[in-house]
Amino acid sequence: MSEKTCAACDYPLDDNAIQVTIGHRVVEVCCQECADKLREAQAKASG
């Protein structure tokens, strides 16, 4: 079984992973900082 990793930084995820909706997709990240980075990237890409 492959280990889940953060969508932003590829850090291995644990039970404290945060789910973030980007577009129509839900991804998991390791911390709030990575969640903010993905949201910022989404905002730049969409407008």
**What residue spans define the domains of the chain?**
1-47
Angle at 17 between CA 11 and CA 21, to 5 degrees: 100
For the stretch 10-24, pLDDT in tens is 999 999 999 999 989
- Which pLDDT tens digit goes with each residue over 23-46? 899 999 999 999 999 999 999 998
Check whether 1 has a pLDDT greater than 60. no
Q: What share of the chain is helix, strand, coil (3-state, %, to 5)?
A: 30, 25, 45
What pTM does this model have? 0.85
